Amino acid sequence: MKTQAQALPTFFSLWQYQTFLRYFPCPILVSFSHWVCLLISSMAEKRTSDYATPVGGRTVPDFGKMYHVKGELSLPRTEIKEPFEAWYDLEGNRSRIDYRNGKVHTYLIGNDLDYGAIYKITPVTTETEIQATKFFQLNGTKENPIRPQAALPDLQGFEFEKMENYEGVLCEVWKKVTQAGHKKNTYRLWVTRPEGIDSPATPHRFEMVGYNTLLESHNDKYTIDYSDFSPQTESDIFIPPGGMTWGEFPDPVEEHQILANPIQDYVNTSPVSHAHRLFGPYKEKFNRQYESEKEHEERENYFIHSLRYVHSMNRAGLTYSLGINDFSDWSKAELARMTGGLLIPDQEKDVTEY
Ligand SMILES: *[C@@H]1O[C@H](CO)[C@@H](O)[C@H](O)[C@H]1NC(C)=O
Ligand SMILES: *[C@@H]1O[C@H](CO)[C@@H](O)[C@H](O)[C@H]1NC(C)=O
């Protein structure tokens, strides 16, 4: 497989996907249940919320142990914008996040059962039902207990950079740079503080810009715009609706995707993201051997964009559950070549209707 240095990201628009199924009717959705274990274990990662320590005369912003916030995740590469609303209660050991204007709910309740539980309410479309609301429960285990998930980044390791106006508000900008292999990520967070006190800070914007030193390109970027931050939540917001029959997280396996709650991966600033860690199992599963380190970096990048796209599209509840498949590390140009140009149209915009 040859690649192009500036190749476009690899993902299917829904239209392309449908066309694809027409020409390749064999099932291309694949099972990868061992990934799901990884996804779950990443959800269990613990957020540290230590008290603020001063950096260069300023205290590192702290959002407190309890908050409500709205946000919009933007993935410019795939033109996806995904709004969410989140509640977090560290001491109560629980969190909740809603997507799609409250149509998809995920509750992470650490104190339920022995090791916590995740409750997910989401519309699911299968071959027989369209957008049917489903209730799923996943019990934590000793190895993978369920813990609350923060919707805001943990600011450990951030340093004050500058003051800057962001949408008319004078903000402190805090910055962190990580490097892992060829991947250099720069995270920035725009915050304000309430008059006269340091905490809790109010988040405005979070941005990640990824630079690959081998490819010499800025090949990754996403932002989260925050609004409506409040250091209080009501406690009944964390209680999943009663009287439901909660099913097991479903097979077929492609539907396990709805499990994934990638805000965790976006707000996490560890140098190798969870999505990157999934590339290892992917290569193994699809038997990948790349010709050079450069190709490896490119493929990994296509894969990351595909993965995020798939997760986002699945949350958007469209009529197909997309899956990671044999083409997930391909560039768009390659996909087009393989099908004799049948899949070329620029239809990406059609699939993000927010
Ligand atoms: C939160 O819940 C998890 C999972 O049940 C548990 O392991 C942990 O000890 C709990 N933490 C607190 C502070 O209660
Ligand atoms: C989760 O725990 C509940 C309560 O113990 C139980 O009824 C349910 O079957 C469990 N679910 C799974 C998938 O094991």
Domain residue ranges in the chain: 14-334
Ligand 1 atom at shortest distance from the alpha carbon of 115: 5
The more confident residue out of 244 and 8 is: 244
Q: Which range, of 33-37, 81-85, 271-275, averages the lowest pLDDT? A: 33-37
Residue 80: what pLDDT?
87
Ligand minimally distant from the alpha carbon of residue 139: 2
pLDDT at 335 over 70: no
> Which residue's C-alpha comes closest to atom 11 of ligand 1?
93
pLDDT at 311 over 90: no
Ligand minimally distant from the alpha carbon of residue 137: 2
C-beta 147 within 6 A of ligand 1: yes
Nearest to 258 by CA among 86, 127, 119, 78: 119
How do beta strands 66-75 and 58-59 pair? unpaired
Q: Are 200 and 51 in contact (CB under 8 A)?
A: no
Give Rg (Cα) of the chain: 21
C-beta 109 within 6 A of ligand 1: no
pLDDT digits (tens, 9 = 90+) for 61-74: 999 999 999 999 99
Strand ranges (E), the chain:
54-55, 58-59, 66-75, 80-89, 94-99, 104-109, 117-124, 132-139, 159-166, 169-180, 183-192, 202-212, 217-230, 247-248
Residue 107: what pLDDT?
93
C-beta 145 within 6 A of ligand 1: yes
C-beta 179 within 6 A of ligand 1: no
Strand ranges (E), 125-168:
132-139, 159-166
The more confident residue out of 110 and 251 is: 110
> Which residue's C-alpha comes closest to atom 5 of ligand 2?
113
Residues with CB under 6 A from ligand 2: 113, 137, 139, 248
Q: Which range, of 144-158, 178-192, 308-322, averages the lowest pLDDT? A: 308-322
pLDDT at 229 over 90: yes
Ligand minimally distant from the alpha carbon of residue 249: 2
Q: What is the Cα 153 distance to its own chain's centre? A: 13
Mean pLDDT in residue range 207-216:
95
For residue 96, the CA-to-ligand 2 centroid distance in Å is 20
The more confident residue out of 161 and 8 is: 161
Residue 18: what pLDDT?
37
pLDDT digits (tens, 9 = 90+) for 237-286: 999 998 888 988 765 443 444 455 567 778 888 777 777 888 888 899 88
Q: What is the Cα 99 distance to its own chain's centre? A: 12
> Please, which pLDDT band fits residue 174 given cuts at 50, 70 and 90?
very high
C-beta 46 within 6 A of ligand 1: no
Residue 79: what pLDDT?
84
pLDDT digits (tens, 9 = 90+) for 111-129: 999 999 989 888 877 677 7
C-beta 110 within 6 A of ligand 1: yes
> Which residue's C-alpha comes closest to atom 1 of ligand 2?
139
